[in-house]
Amino acid sequence: MALATEEIQVLELLAKEWDYSGPPGIMDISDIVASLSQAPSDTLEAIKSLFEQGLVDMNSLKTASFLTPEGYEAAEESRK
């Protein structure tokens, strides 16, 4: 599965949070949008796509996103 650049940036950001704060690397979606230098709509679309692929999950209110173990593995692959 080939990931879009925007998706890779989201995965890498959440993986960095995972590394610093521990699993699952949870961040508010607004913080994810603010941290990346891409259009907010692109970031939100990337999160949605990653969620559909099972690489990220969201809290019940859909205000925060975090990596699944598969998402962390995908981020590790992209960082090589």
pLDDT in tens, 13-43: 999 999 999 999 999 999 999 999 999 999 9
CA-closest candidate to residue 72, choices 18, 28, 2, 21:
18
- CATH code for the part of the protein at 5-78: 1.10.10.10
CA distance 8 to 43: 10
Task: Please tell me whether residue 66 adopts helix, strand or coil conformation.
Answer: strand
Domain locations along the chain: 5-78
Quick check: 67 and 75 in contact, CB under 8 A?
Answer: yes
pTM: 0.93
Tell me the CA distances in angstroms from 19 to 25, 42, 44, one per residue in order: 7, 24, 22
